[in-house]
């Protein structure tokens, strides 16, 4: 009998995963933990951290050694889990599509969401393993004194939460069909996240502010931390849902729950600010606007695929409420445009509700309202360009991104020409460009002009996009009529003779 066959059953069982775990999670964990990139990263960070801590222990003064060890550990953990680990997900979805394995997965009991979630939880589990392996180094920090145990543990947990959120964003990026776009987005994000990590931990003032926030000693620290936590979870989920939508079948409606959850998140944020101190409430419009931008862009780049009865029947069963809801919650940019209008009104009203209306704050309120209007114009204007020049495109995200890039580039050229020639008239000529309205808004001499043109420009762009959506609404209503016939036929079959 060969040696391979003489293995104790307990040993073989320990290498098996529980049947209760997702098959996608098991597959990704096995491949990830055995992968060369993870092994190299795991060993490299251990060696690097050991050498750095040893060098700091020998070279630093006794008073600063403990603080230097903490910042070194946090920098290494953040770079490993917030930069290098997420980069491994840059082709997570597209590689499955390229290898023609995604269709094979979808014909099983695995849904699009389970496939994406399995990939995400696998990478997050590997990041958790890295953090768990590095955490014992913090024991050295204790022996040098001055350790803020609760604050540093909260920082460690915050890094893990940020890593999970960033990994979700990179998985969302991995669903983009263009390799160039994935590379640009991934590398730019990784660069700025790494730069931000170095600045956050190596700059003493920012590290002190972070410690105060995580120890909940700073003013409004609990509310700020809660908002950041909700924002991280929300953006991560939104990115994963975007990736799931890219591989989901046409009959699966992911737009409706996505938009409803977005409204729920905005409601929670509103309640947090409503229960906060009056001075802190003034930040509500900024948070609501920032949280609205990602879902606005996703809603505007959803291609209006021909709806099926599985999508429209749930709306029709709800009568007039479902019909009204279909104008805002159907998949596609046509209803997404209406949904953006809801978020615009919510942001605008939050500024009016939460910001003081006294005479001393009237100028600040006007500036806040104008800034929110221009921001939403910047989101809608690229869609208008797409509808004018590429109305039949199936690559809506790519064309939208190019239009957004060209808008920013043209605005930058106008600003450069203005600064070199010092001619105010050029801003007036190009005031129809939303970014130029920000330039007008920043100058006291033209600030009133920005106030006057911002709102009419926004509604002009919105109405122009709405007028181009008529053929899609005609198709949707025709599909609704067929769905009503299906419902009537089902009722006829179920009703007694």
Query: Could you say which DSSP state residue 83 is in?
Result: I
Taking 3-state DSSP, the helix, strand and coil percentages for the chain, each rounded to the nearest 5, stand at: 80, 0, 20
Based on the domain organization, do 232 and 201 belong to the same domain? yes
Per-residue pLDDT at 365: 78
Contact 18, 111 (CB under 8 A): no
Q: What's this model's pTM, rounded to 2 decimal places?
A: 0.85
Does 491 fall in a domain? Answer: no
In this prediction, residues 479-494 reach a mean pLDDT of 78
What pLDDT is recorded for position 2? 41
Same structural domain, 233 and 214:
yes
Closest among 73, 63, 84, 81 to 136, alpha carbons compared: 73
pLDDT of residue 115: 85
Asked if residue 225 has pLDDT above 80, the reply is yes
Using an 8 Å Cβ cutoff, are 279 and 219 in contact? no
Same-domain status, 410 and 350: yes
Q: Is the pLDDT score of 55 beyond 80?
A: no
Per-residue pLDDT tens digits for 341-364: 999 999 998 888 887 665 555 667
- In this structure, the answer to whether residues 296 and 207 fall within a common structural domain is no
Shared domain for 242 and 263, answered yes or no, is no
pLDDT of residue 384: 93
Residue 21 has pLDDT above 70, yes or no: no
Model confidence at 3, pLDDT cuts 50, 70, 90, reads very low
Flag whether 270 is in a domain: yes
Distance in angstroms (rounded) separating the CA atoms of residues 137 and 118 = 30
**Residues 207, 353: one domain?**
no
Asked whether residue 492 is domain-assigned, the answer is no
- Which of 22-31, 137-146, 172-181: highest mean pLDDT? 172-181
Do 236 and 270 belong together in one domain? no
Is 41 in contact with 80 (CB distance < 8 Å)? yes
pLDDT of residue 63: 62
Identify the pLDDT of residue 495. 63
Q: Is position 471 within any domain?
A: yes
Q: What angle do CA 96, 101, 105 make, to 5 degrees?
A: 105
Q: What is the pLDDT of residue 11?
A: 42
pLDDT digits (tens, 9 = 90+) for 393-408: 778 888 898 999 999 8
Residue 139: per-residue pLDDT? 75
480-to-118, 324, 325, 338, 374 alpha-carbon distances in Å: 35, 13, 13, 19, 36
Query: What integer best gives the mean pLDDT of the chain?
Result: 82
For residue 420, the model assigns a pLDDT of 81
> In this structure, what are the phi and psi dihedrals at residue 273, rounded to the nearest 5 degrees?
-70, -35
Same domain, 299 and 436: yes
Q: How far apart are CA 28 and CA 21, in angstroms?
A: 12
178 shares its domain with 292: no
Instruction: Show which of 249, 272, 288 is a domain's final residue.
Output: 249
- At residue 368, the pLDDT reads 83
Q: Which residue among 213, 230, 249 closes a domain?
A: 249
* Mean pLDDT, rounded, for 420-445: 77
Domain stops at, among 206, 222, 249? 249
Q: Is residue 497 part of a domain?
A: no
| Per-residue pLDDT at 171 | 92
Structure confidence at residue 446 (pLDDT) = 60
- Name the pLDDT band for 454 (thresholds 50, 70, 90): confident
Please state the domain count of the chain.
2
pLDDT in tens, 297-341: 999 988 765 567 778 888 888 888 888 888 898 888 889 999 999
pLDDT of residue 1: 40
Percent of the chain at pLDDT above 90? 22
* C-alpha–C-alpha distance, residues 383 and 381, integer Å: 5
Domain membership flag for residue 15:
no
Same domain, 267 and 193: no
In a domain, 13, yes or no: no
**Is residue 13's pLDDT more than 60?**
no
Q: Residue 16 — very low, low, confident or very high, per pLDDT cuts 50/70/90?
A: low
Chain-centroid distance of CA 416 in Å reads 32
Same domain, residue pair 261 and 226: no
Q: Mean per-residue pLDDT for 227-248? A: 89
Range of the domain at 285: 254-486
Two tokens, residue 437: 């309205």
Structural domain includes residue 78: yes
Instruction: Render pLDDT for 62-119 as a digit per residue (tens, 0 to 9).
Output: 566 667 778 888 888 999 899 999 998 888 888 777 776 766 666 666 778 888 888 8
Residue 14 has pLDDT above 50, yes or no: no
* Whether the predicted pLDDT of 57 surpasses 90: no
pLDDT of res. 358: 59
* Same domain flag for 240 and 266: no
């Amino acid at each position: 009998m060969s040696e391979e066959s003489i293995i104790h059953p307990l040993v073989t069982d320990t290498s098996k995963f529980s049947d209760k775990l997702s098959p996608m999670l098991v597959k990704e964990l096995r491949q990830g933990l055995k992968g060369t990139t993870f092994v190299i990263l795991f060993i490299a960070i251990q060696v690097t951290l050991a050498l750095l801590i040893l060098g700091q222990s020998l070279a630093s003064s006794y008073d600063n050694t403990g603080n230097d060890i903490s910042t070194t550990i946090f920098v290494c953990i953040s770079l490993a889990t917030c930069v290098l680990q997420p980069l491994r997900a840059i082709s997570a979805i597209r590689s499955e599509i390229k290898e023609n394995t995604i269709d094979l997965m979808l014909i099983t009991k695995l849904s699009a969401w389970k496939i994406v979630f399995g990939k995400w939880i696998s990478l997050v589990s590997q990041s958790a393993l890295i953090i768990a392996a590095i955490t014992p180094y913090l024991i050295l920090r204790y022996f040098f004194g001055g350790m803020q145990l609760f604050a540093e543990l909260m920082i460690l947990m915050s890094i893990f939460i940020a890593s999970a959120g960033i990994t979700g964003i990179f998985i969302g990026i991995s669903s983009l069909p263009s390799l160039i776009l994935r590379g640009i987005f991934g590398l730019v994000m990784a660069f700025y996240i790494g730069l931000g990590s170095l600045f956050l931990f190596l700059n003493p003032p920012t590290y002190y502010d972070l410690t105060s926030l995580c120890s909940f000693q700073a003013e409004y620290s609990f509310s700020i931390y809660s908002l950041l936590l909700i924002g991280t979870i929300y953006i991560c989920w939104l990115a994963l849902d975007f990736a799931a939508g890219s591989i989901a079948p046409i009959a699966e409606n992911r737009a409706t729950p996505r938009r409803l959850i977005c409204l729920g998140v905005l409601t929670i944020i509103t309640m947090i600010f409503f229960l906060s101190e009056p001075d802190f409430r003034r930040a509500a419009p900024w948070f609501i606007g920032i949280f609205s931008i990602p879902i606005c862009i996703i809603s505007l780049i959803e291609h209006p695929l021909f709806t099926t009865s599985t999508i429209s029947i749930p709306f029709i069963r709800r009568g007039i409420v479902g019909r009204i809801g279909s104008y805002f919650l159907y998949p596609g940019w046509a209803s997404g445009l209406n949904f953006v209008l809801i978020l615009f009104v919510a942001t605008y009203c939050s500024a009016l509700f939460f910001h003081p209306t006294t005479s001393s704050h009237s100028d600040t309120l006007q500036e806040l309202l104008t800034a929110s209007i221009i921001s939403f114009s910047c989101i809608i204007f690229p869609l208008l360009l797409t509808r004018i020049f590429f109305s039949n495109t199936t690559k809506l995200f790519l064309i939208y991104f190019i239009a957004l890039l060209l808008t920013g580039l043209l605005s930058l050229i106008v600003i450069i020409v203005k600064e070199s020639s010092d001619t105010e008239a050029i801003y007036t000529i190009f005031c129809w460009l939303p970014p130029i309205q920000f330039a007008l808004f920043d100058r006291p001499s033209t600030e009133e002009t920005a106030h006057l043109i911002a709102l009419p420009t926004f509604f002009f762009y919105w109405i122009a996009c709405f007028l181009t959506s008529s053929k899609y609404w005609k198709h949707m209503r025709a599909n609704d009529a067929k769905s009503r016939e299906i419902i009537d036929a089902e009722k006829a079959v179920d009703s007694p003779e």
